Structure formats: C-alpha cells, structure tokens
Amino acid sequence: MTTRQILNVFEQYQKARTAFVQAVADLSTRPQNIETLQNAGVMSLLRPLLLDIVPSVQQTAALALGRLANYSDDLAEAVVKGDILPQLVYSLAEQNRFYKKAAAFVLRAVAKHSPPLAQAVVDSGALDALAICLEEFDPGVKEAAAWALGYIARHNGELAQSVVDSGAVPLLVLCIQEPELSLKRIAASALSDISKHSPELAQTVVDAGAIAHLANLTLNPDAKLKRQVFSALSQISKHSVELAEMVVEAEIFPNVLTCLKDSDEYVKKNCATLIREVAKHTPELAQLIVNAGGVAAVIDYVGDSAGNVRLPGIMMLGYVAAHSENLAMAVIVSKGVVQLAIALQEEQEDHIQAAAAWALGQAGRHTPEHAKAVAQANVLPTLLQCYLRAGSSEDLQIKAKKALKNILQKCVHLPALEPLLHDAPPNILKHVVAQFSKVLPHDAKARRLFVTSGGLKKVQEIKAEPGSALMEYINIINGCYPEEIVRYYSPGYSERLLERIDNHQPIMTN
C-alpha cells in the first residue's frame, strides 16, 4: 500500500468528521430535530471532537454543543454530566479566536437555564478564562465572553459576586467604551445583570467608573444599546439614595426625558423605569425631576402608552405624589390625575390597575384640596368598582380600598361623595358618611343640597349597629335637620302617614 493510499484513509476520516459535525450543527438549529439527535447519543459523539486535531472540527463541534445546550436544560445538564465543561475552559485559554467564541457560546447556553447550571459553569473554572477573553483583541471573543458572564450573573447575588471576584467588572466597563455596538450592548447588559442584585454589587460597578460611560451612551441613536444602558442605570439607581444621586450627578436630566418619546417601546419603558427608580428615594430627588420637566414628560408618556410599558410611568407619578403636598400638587396641576384615571379605567390587567389605584391614593391623601382634585376626575366610583369586582386580584382589592380610604378621609367635596352613598359596602360607607358628618354642620347650602339630591333619604336607609362609629356619624347628620324632616325621609314614613289616614276619624259637623 502506497503512502498516498494510507494518507487517503486519514483524509476520508477527516472529511467524514467534518461532514458529521457540520450536519449536526445544522440539524441542531431546528427544534424538531433535537430529540432525535439526543436519542442517537449525539453528546458522547461530539465530546471527543472538541479535542480534534483539526481546528474547524473542534469549532463546529463546540457550536453544535452550544445549540443543543441552548435548547433545553436537560441537554445543558447532559453537557455538565458529560464532563465537557473543563475541556471547553481549557480550550478557551489555548485555542484560536473562532474556537473561543464557540466555547463561550456553550458556556453561556449552559449557564442561562438555572442557578445550579450556572454554578456548574463557575465550578469548572470558566470565570477566570472568560475574564481573560475580555482582554482579547478580537471584539467577537469579547462579546461572547461578556454575554456568558452576564448570563451567569443574572441568576442571583452569589453568582454575580463570583463574576465580580473574577475581575470582570472593570473589563466590562472598558468594553462599553469600544467602538463595536454589539459589544457595547452586551457589556451594558452584563453590568445591568450584576448591579440588580444588591447595593454592594451595584457599588462595585459604580466604583469601576461605569456611570459616566453609561450616561454618555443615553443619547446614542442605537435603540438596542439604549435599552441596556437605561436598564443598567435603573438597576444601579434602585438600591439607595447615594447610588441614585451618583446617577443624577452624571447629568442625565433633562436629556433622558427625550427618550420617553423614543420609537422603541423598550427604550421608553426602561427610561421611565430609570426615572421611577430615582424619584422614589427622596423628595429632593423627586423635586429635581419635577424641575427638569420630568413629571409633565412622564404624564405624556402615560397618556401615549399602554399595558406594561405604561406601568413604570404610573408608579413614578405615585412615588412623586407620595413624598409631599407640593409634589402631589405638581402631579395634579400637570394633569397627572386625569391620565391616571384614564389608565385605571382603560387597563385590563389587575396589576396595572392596582398601580394606578395606588398612585391616585398617594395624590389624594394629603389635603382636602388634593382629595377634591382626585375626586373630580371621577375616580371614586371606578376605585369602588375595582374593589367590589368579583374577579379582582387580592392586590387590586387591597390597593383600591386603601386609595378610597386615603382620598375619602380628606375629601370634603360632597358632590363627588354622593354616588358612593348608594353603592359602597359598609366598611367604605363608614368613611363616606364620616365626611358628610364633618361638612354638613357648617354648610347650610350643602345641607339643602343633601336633602334635594336624595342623600338624606339614603342615610336614613342605612342599617347601622347601635353604638358604632357609623351610627354616630348618622346621628350627627340627622342633628343638622329638624326632626320632622328626618322623619319624613325615614323608611316607612309614607306608610305610617297612610295608616294615620286610615285610623283618623273625621270630625262630623251638623
């Protein structure tokens, strides 16, 4: 046998390996093929090919494994059990850039499914190797490594701390300064995933100088990048006053307000979330946003959006209104209550209605003037309806009840309260009647109107327990009128009159 014939055998074997991994990589892009591949033992066949002497076979084998692991946690588990991770980690340090990208993809695909699988990736020693990849010259390798690190960090604080301990954070901050957009996006996303778990982790990101670079990117024209940038700044701001102040000091206001009108829904939502996370901490931070025109911009945003995109705007208005009388009045004057009332009426999902109810309660709870502004937007019947509706979630019922109570305890605008006299259950009715008992003794015009509108008649029909607070309020109201008026409007009075007619003996005159 000639040398040529012998070498031919090896060439054919190489071609067969190449064709096999290529075919498996292609087949694994379609979900309907995955189960058949798994049943055919594809994992154990791909594993030795990761150490193949031909680089293209190694890379394609890694790519195929990544696609399989990406599909389900069972296949990701099979990668872990097959002892494939240590091989990949070893190769990350040794192999060329194409292989590094494929290996980082497998690590990401395994880590994404659950904390235990992400922990398995950490235990294989992947973090140090991935952090080193962030220093590679090739942006594609950096991108793959940043992506894998983000997927590990997103699960919980312990895993995020492991990523921090690998020294990745300063390198991720360098990545957001690179010219490649996709690398900036993924690095910003990874910083967001690290920051979200705790103030300490967010502080680590801040200490690496991330805020200034993220703030510079808020006006970048790329929508996908802005989504991640606003997400990262939100996750930093949410933890504490100090962190929120640092974000504000990067001079993001009023520039970020323009992004509330962005054409991309996620940019708008993440921008509104950032404003909410800053506003919630202190009256001073909320005032700063008001001064920058933030409340008016968010009210427009609430009016222009719907569903979950609307939610952070609704909550932001609630947080601002909760801080003080003046801030609540700023929301009212800017027509915020009107938009919140529309959201309460329009939205179908209970958690969004609950947020709107809560925000309205915060706006109306400060003074009679605040309560009147909220009541005049005709929200009290809607809040009552949310509270009484059989299908309402427990959270919506609690928030609607609390909002009603907050507004009612301050509201002395009687025309807005009257409809509730007819519809409210006893636990709400008590607060409604209490307000009438406060106003009627001091207002003759209101007393007259209360009679002609049928309010006094309705009060007489209320069945209150003797000695209860409700009974006390009814007695105060009744004390505002002559006894014969109260009797006239009491239930059964007309029957008693008719009875007296029946029993009356006419006086006969001769």
Q: Based on the number of CB atoms within 10 Å of its own CB, is 235 exposed (0-12), middle (13-18) or buried (19 or more)?
A: buried
Residues 6+ apart with CB under 8 A from 415: none
- Structure tokens that stand for 485 in this block: 């008026």
Global pTM value? 0.85
pLDDT recorded at residue 502:
59
Q: Are residues 28 and 34 in contact, defined by beta-carbon separation less than 8 angstroms?
A: yes
Token look-up 């309907």 returns: 32
Between the alpha carbon of residue 312 and those of residues 137, 188, 403, the distances in Å are 40, 21, 19
Q: Based on the number of CB atoms within 10 Å of its own CB, is 440 exposed (0-12), middle (13-18) or buried (19 or more)?
A: buried
pLDDT recorded at residue 475:
85
What span, in angstroms and rounded, lies between the C-alpha atoms of 397 and 147?
42
pLDDT recorded at residue 239:
93
Q: Based on the number of CB atoms within 10 Å of its own CB, is 127 exposed (0-12), middle (13-18) or buried (19 or more)?
A: buried
What span, in angstroms and rounded, lies between the C-alpha atoms of 24 and 470?
76
Give the closest residue to 101 by CA, choosing from 131, 140, 149. 140
pLDDT recorded at residue 498:
59
Terminal-residue alpha carbon distance, the chain: 155
DSSP assignment of 391-402 equals T--HHHHHHHHH
DSSP H or E run through 92: helix 84-94
Q: Which amino acid is at 436?
A: F
Q: Based on the number of CB atoms within 10 Å of its own CB, is 66 exposed (0-12), middle (13-18) or buried (19 or more)?
A: buried
Per residue in 41-92, pLDDT (tens digit) is: 888 888 888 887 888 888 888 888 888 888 887 888 888 887 888 888 887 7
Per residue in 244-290, pLDDT (tens digit) is: 999 999 988 878 898 998 889 999 999 999 999 999 999 999 999 99
> Would you write out the chain's pLDDT as a tens digit for each of its 510 residues?
788 888 888 888 888 888 988 888 888 888 888 888 888 888 888 888 888 788 888 888 888 888 888 888 788 888 888 788 888 888 777 777 888 888 898 899 999 999 999 999 999 888 999 999 988 888 999 999 999 999 999 999 999 999 999 999 999 999 999 999 999 999 999 999 999 999 999 999 999 999 999 999 988 899 999 999 999 999 999 999 999 999 999 988 878 898 998 889 999 999 999 999 999 999 999 999 999 888 999 999 998 888 899 999 999 999 999 999 999 999 999 999 999 999 988 888 899 999 999 999 999 889 888 988 888 888 888 888 888 888 888 899 899 989 988 888 888 887 887 787 777 787 788 888 888 888 888 878 888 887 777 777 787 777 877 878 878 888 888 888 888 777 777 776 666 655 666 565 666 665
What span, in angstroms and rounded, lies between the C-alpha atoms of 381 and 387?
10
Give the closest residue to 192 by CA, choosing from 222, 223, 147. 147
Please work out, in degrees rounded to the nearest 5, the angle formed at the alpha carbon of residue 167 by the alpha carbons of 161 and 171: 120
Q: Are residues 386 and 344 in contact, defined by beta-carbon separation less than 8 angstroms?
A: yes
Q: For 161, how many CA atoms within 13 A lie in the half-sphere containing its CB? A: 7
Would you mind telling me the total number of residues written for the chain in this entry? Answer: 510
Give the closest residue to 365 by CA, choosing from 356, 374, 352. 374
